[in-house]
Chain A
Amino acid sequence: MLLQLNNIFKWVQQGGQRVFLLKDINLQVEEGEFISIMGPSGSGKSTLLNVIGMLDGFDEGEYNFFDEPVHQLKEKHRANLYKQYIGFVFQAYHLIDELTVYENLEMPLLYKKLKGSERKAMVADMLDRFNIVGKKDLFPSQLSGGQQQLVGVARALISKPKLILADEPTGNLNSQQGIEIMELFKELNEEGVTIIQVTHSEKNAQYGKRIINLLDGRKI
């Protein structure tokens, strides 16, 4: 089992009242799964994904990742877990404007203390695999949205994560570009990478093997 959420609650304090963002979420994810999270806007999809990705905390419940109790781990240990296993893909790509495609891809590796030659090889691999070798010296602003998201996915994959979390990865793309990304996810999943994606699109959701529906922070 890859991860397990037990009775997760998350809330914010607003005007003296608790506003629940997540209510009693239970979820088990096995290795190799491809899950789509759906629900209306504001239902808590991104929040849930961030909790799974350890980018955000929660207020109650248990979260085990590879049998490690995330809720009890120190920040540093958690960061290591995260660095080792998780890759994130954003809707808004979040590439760094001042860095070239090559440098954007290399960035996560810099934080893993890999040797220069190793980094070079891994980046070259990724550029190859996503057919963007010719773009490696361009800045993000010189790419189309689809190309930027390709780089975003490549950046998430470069450190060979076991789990990819994607928050509406195709939200800013046209349908053709969206299909390409989805096909890519499917391919990765077949290679054994676990994928959890948030999506509004019924069509994209079908790429997943399991669909989780959220409403008002509750799983239905």
Chain B
Amino acid sequence: MFRNHLKIALRFFLKNKLFTAINVFGLSIGITAFILLIQYISFEKSYDDFITDVDDLYRVTLTTNLGDNGFVTSATNHPTVGAAMVADFPEVDSYARLMDKPIPLGGTVHFSYTNPLGEEIKTSAKDDYIYFANNEIINLFDISLIQGDALTALTEPNSIILTKKIAQRFFGNEDPIGKLLEINDNFALQVSGVFEERPENTHLPMGMIISFNIFGQEGDFANSWVWPEFYNYVKLKPGMDPSTVNAKFPSFVKKYLGDIMNEHGFEARMALQPVKDIHLKSNLLKEISPNGSNGTLYFLLLVAGFIIAIAMINFINLSTAKSMERAKEVGLKKVVGANRTTLINQFLYESLIINFFAIIVSFVLINVLISSFNSLIGFEVLNFGMWAKWQVWLSLFGIFLVGGILAGLYPAFVLSGFEPIEVLRGKFHKTTKGNALQKGLVIAQFAISIALISGTYIVYNQFSFMQNQDLGFNSSQNLVLAAPTYKDSTTQHKIETFKRELIQNPQVNNAALSDEVPGSAIIQGNTIRQAHEQIEQGVNANFVTIDQDFIKTYAINLLAGRDFVKEDATTMYSRNGPIANGHRVLINRSAAKSLGFMNPEHAIDQKMIYKFGPIDRTAEIIGVVEDHHQQSLQKAYDPIVFMNFKGFGASYITVNLAGDNIRETSNQIESTFKEFFPDDIYNSFFIDDYFNRQYQADSKFGTICLIFSILAIFIAALGLFGLGSHMAMQKTKEISVRKVMGATVIQALSIIPKKLLSLVLISGLIALPIIYLITINWLDNYAFKIDLNIWMFLVPLLIVLFVAAISIISQSLKSALINPAEALRNE
């Protein structure tokens, strides 16, 4: 029996090549997309899974209401939290604390190693993931040391451990242990361990880890409760419930932070956050690396489901449609005694065979696509090793079985249900059986397509809106150099001279020093208030230190008052010391508003107080500038106070280039830099590139959405094409008769779109309200966003209508163009 089924099935496929091709092709694209997306999703879900005790590992977060933004939770905490928790809470086994900013090193960081031949190997440490951490990090995060002692590798104040790759970069084939690495030509670290490369799926990628004891053991800020810039991880003892620890935090916070909170009038809370949740469910202030988003994953899961659903709907629709042509076969089989079960089995076999072909094709497709998919995602999400996992095979087999049976069941029942007498009388085509379901499925396909097009279109619009908006500063032709490393007080002087030298170049308009440039979050900030106000009235603001050329170089608009001049620079402070008189600042429009000034003019010559650590400082506002986008347009404008200190440690030198020969000018700048700072590494970028890198994650998401939406729509169109050819075949007779009655080709064809139009309209009514709500919700994540308009919803509807009409009419056209005699000959 099976051989008979197989024979009939294969003959049927051979005879109906278009039908078979559309089904196999559509299903295999659907399966491929589904598997790829699922692999990506499980990659994102697997973050930090490789850590043995990840279920007992928590990060201690800090929530405070400093400033007027209410409670804000930060990923960083006081450096002392971990040790205090181990001392106070019996549930806590051990802790690790780390810091990722090279603050104790100052400015740009570079490492150098002088080998026995006297050659110096020097690299900037930009992408090397450097941290300061205590020795427990090795245990907590399962760092596997190839060389060195896991118990002591990070106990000496000057010890450093690094990955195999980085060790090779400096030391080649030499034994790294005991070698000296110099930081900023300033002080030396001794290599005490080499560890395996970390997996990519971790929120905490590691390259070099420097002993935390470099901060000093006792009494210093590293042991204080005033500098919450450290990441604290704790490991609970096995089986301990984090909620018991969370319940103890209020009294713990009171014990250690009570006095400070009273003094400064704020409140703090702490909580344990599972490390497992950090990648997808966290999105706190000062995250150590960019988070993924659960929402995005759910969205992609939805798309994956849609794609495979569309492919299956195609199959169901086409098979059911085809069933009309096979009614005769069924009728005859029944007449000679076939029962319903055998017939159902036959059609199920066919479905399974088609699905089997599809699986084979997608197996090939997946292997072909592995590397392009990885580069699309930006991680090695897939590799050929995936075929060694039984889960992958199981999911393929599952898709095969579920898909084959699900898609085959309905057509099998419709087909096997034909009554032989009806069939042989030729009346079967009047049955309305299956029509409602078929319509429903087509509507579902249209609705999904409309929603996907509309969603993708809106997402794309928002992204291009963000990238094309005026940023409030001059973003083209601004070259930014990383300032040289600070060695001593002469460095600042040298930088000034270097800057003057640059401006001599006729191709350079302007140059400015600053400790921040647009394109990332401002590190420094605290509360500000008008001079006559009390501390409780303080509002949050960010602090940026610039020189007198910064506003000009970035062409930021001055709204009131005046720009800095050289004489405004006051002497830099000692960390807690007093500040010179005549301390003057610029503020931006948002800061003026937060301070409560009615308009920019009112702020001029007013005094304001800003908090700097525990102390209050008074400054005079000499000018108000227009807001600029410091960060991506997802974020609102930052209130900013611009300060101007003599000899501040600038991190950046921004050069505004005049001419059109940018390459040559930047080469000249590079060689000047090397003349001035031969020991430093030249690092430069254009401010627009730097700014736009904030959109990388967004554009990746956009591209993934776009590609898979197009795939989904393509599969849907494929199905429509198949259905269209069937519909056209059914309509051939009607079209021909109408032609014989005198209809023109166009008139005869016009019967099809009318029916289509109503289907598409119903789909639109279903899809558009849903997609409207979803996109409105999504856009709420953005401070600056596009306005939705009716076309964003109508155009997708029209596109779907158009694609559907084309695929059906192109098929019907054949029947409209052939001689009616031909079409009616067989009737």
Please choose the segment from B112-120, B267-275, B739-747 that sits at the chain A interface, where 4 or more of its residues have CB less than 8 A away.
B739-747
Contacts A55-B820, A57-B819; A96 near B744 (Cβ below 8 A) = no
Judging by beta carbons under 8 Å apart, are A94 and B744 in contact? Answer: no
Judging by beta carbons under 8 Å apart, are A108 and B827 in contact? Answer: no
The smallest C-beta distance from A50 to any residue of chain B, in angstroms, reads 4
Complex CA distance for A53 and B742, rounded to whole angstroms: 12
Closest residue of chain B to A56, judged by CB? B821
Judging by beta carbons under 8 Å apart, are B824 and A94 in contact? Answer: yes
Contacts of B741 in A (CB 8 A): 107-108, 111, 155
| B663 on the A face (CB < 8 A) | no
Contacts of A57 in B (CB 8 A): 819
Contacts of B820 in A (CB 8 A): 55
| A210 on the B face (CB < 8 A) | no
| A11 on the B face (CB < 8 A) | no
Residues 50-65 of chain A: 1 if any B CB is under 8 Å from the residue's CB, otherwise 0?
A: 1001011100000000
Judging by beta carbons under 8 Å apart, are B825 and A46 in contact? Answer: yes
Give the interface SS of chain B, mostly helix, strand, loop or mixed.
helix
Contacts of A96 in B (CB 8 A): 734, 737-738
Residues 287-320 of chain B: 1 if any A CB is under 8 Å from the residue's CB, otherwise 0?
A: 0000000000000000000000000000000000
Closest residue of chain A to B747, judged by CB? A111
Contacts of B430 in A (CB 8 A): 97, 141
Closest residue of chain B to A96, judged by CB? B734
Contacts of A47 in B (CB 8 A): 821
Residues 722-762 of chain B: 1 if any A CB is under 8 Å from the residue's CB, otherwise 0?
A: 00000000000110011011111001000000000000000
Judging by beta carbons under 8 Å apart, are A108 and B742 in contact? Answer: yes
Complex CA distance for A55 and B821, rounded to whole angstroms: 6
- State which of B427, B738, B744, B822 has its C-beta within 8 Å of the C-beta of A141: B427
Complex CA distance for A204 and B427, rounded to whole angstroms: 29
Judging by beta carbons under 8 Å apart, are A112 and B742 in contact? Answer: yes
Complex CA distance for A46 and B827, rounded to whole angstroms: 12
Judging by beta carbons under 8 Å apart, are A55 and B819 in contact? Answer: yes
Contacts of B824 in A (CB 8 A): 90, 92, 94
Contacts of A88 in B (CB 8 A): 740
Question: In the complex, which residues 7-60 of chain A have their Cβ closer than 8 Å to any Cβ of chain B?
Answer: 46-47, 50, 53, 55-57
Contacts of B744 in A (CB 8 A): 79, 111
Judging by beta carbons under 8 Å apart, are B743 and A111 in contact? Answer: yes
Complex CA distance for A108 and B747, rounded to whole angstroms: 12
Contacts of A110 in B (CB 8 A): 743
Contacts of A92 in B (CB 8 A): 824, 827
- State which of B427, B737, B747 has its C-beta within 8 Å of the C-beta of A94: B737
Question: In the complex, which residues 152-170 of chain A have their Cβ closer than 8 Å to any Cβ of chain B?
Answer: 155, 159
| A207 on the B face (CB < 8 A) | no
Complex CA distance for A50 and B632, rounded to whole angstroms: 72
Complex CA distance for A82 and B741, rounded to whole angstroms: 9
Contacts of B737 in A (CB 8 A): 94-96
Judging by beta carbons under 8 Å apart, are A56 and B822 in contact? Answer: yes
Contacts A94-B733, A111-B747; A82 near B821 (Cβ below 8 A) = no
Judging by beta carbons under 8 Å apart, are B827 and A50 in contact? Answer: no
Judging by beta carbons under 8 Å apart, are B740 and A55 in contact? Answer: yes
Complex CA distance for A159 and B741, rounded to whole angstroms: 9
- State which of B733, B738, B822, B825 has its C-beta within 8 Å of the C-beta of A107: B738
Complex CA distance for A42 and B287, rounded to whole angstroms: 85
Contacts of A159 in B (CB 8 A): 742
Closest residue of chain A to B825, judged by CB? A46
Contacts of A141 in B (CB 8 A): 427, 430
Complex CA distance for A57 and B818, rounded to whole angstroms: 11
Contacts of B747 in A (CB 8 A): 111
The smallest C-beta distance from A53 to any residue of chain B, in angstroms, reads 8
Closest residue of chain A to B733, judged by CB? A94
Q: Identify which of B734, B738, B742, B825 gathers the most chain A CB atoms within 10 Å of its CB.
A: B742
| A83 on the B face (CB < 8 A) | yes
Question: In the complex, which residues 494-535 of chain B have their Cβ closer than 8 Å to any Cβ of chain A?
Answer: none
- State which of A46, A55, A82 has its C-beta within 8 Å of the C-beta of B742: A82
Question: In the complex, which residues 112-145 of chain A have their Cβ closer than 8 Å to any Cβ of chain B?
Answer: 112, 141
Contacts of B427 in A (CB 8 A): 141
Question: In the complex, which residues 704-733 of chain B have their Cβ closer than 8 Å to any Cβ of chain A?
Answer: 733
Closest residue of chain A to B820, judged by CB? A55
Residues 390-415 of chain B: 1 if any A CB is under 8 Å from the residue's CB, otherwise 0?
A: 00000000000000000000000000
Q: Identify which of A88, A95, A112 gathers the most chain B CB atoms within 10 Å of its CB.
A: A88
Complex CA distance for A95 and B742, rounded to whole angstroms: 14
Complex CA distance for A111 and B747, rounded to whole angstroms: 8
Contacts of A82 in B (CB 8 A): 742
Contacts of B827 in A (CB 8 A): 90, 92, 94
Question: In the complex, which residues 58-117 of chain A have their Cβ closer than 8 Å to any Cβ of chain B?
Answer: 79, 82-83, 88, 90, 92, 94-98, 107-108, 110-112
Contacts of B822 in A (CB 8 A): 56
The smallest C-beta distance from A5 to any residue of chain B, in angstroms, reads 16
Contacts of B743 in A (CB 8 A): 110-111
Contacts of A155 in B (CB 8 A): 741
Complex CA distance for A142 and B734, rounded to whole angstroms: 18
Contacts of B734 in A (CB 8 A): 96, 98
Complex CA distance for A159 and B740, rounded to whole angstroms: 12
Besides A79-B744, A110-B743, A111-B747, 12 other A-B contacts (C-beta < 8 A): A46-B821, A55-B740, A56-B821, A56-B822, A83-B742, A94-B827, A95-B737, A96-B737, A96-B738, A107-B741, A108-B741, A141-B427
Residues of A within 8 A of B (CB): 46-47, 50, 53, 55-57, 79, 82-83, 88, 90, 92, 94-98, 107-108, 110-112, 141, 155, 159
Residues of B within 8 A of A (CB): 427, 430, 733-734, 737-738, 740-744, 747, 819-822, 824-825, 827
Q: 6 closest A-B pairs (Cβ-Cβ)?
A: A56-B821, A50-B821, A111-B742, A108-B741, A55-B821, A83-B742
Q: List 9 A-B contacts (CB under 8 A).
A: A47-B821, A55-B819, A57-B819, A92-B827, A96-B738, A97-B430, A107-B738, A107-B741, A111-B742
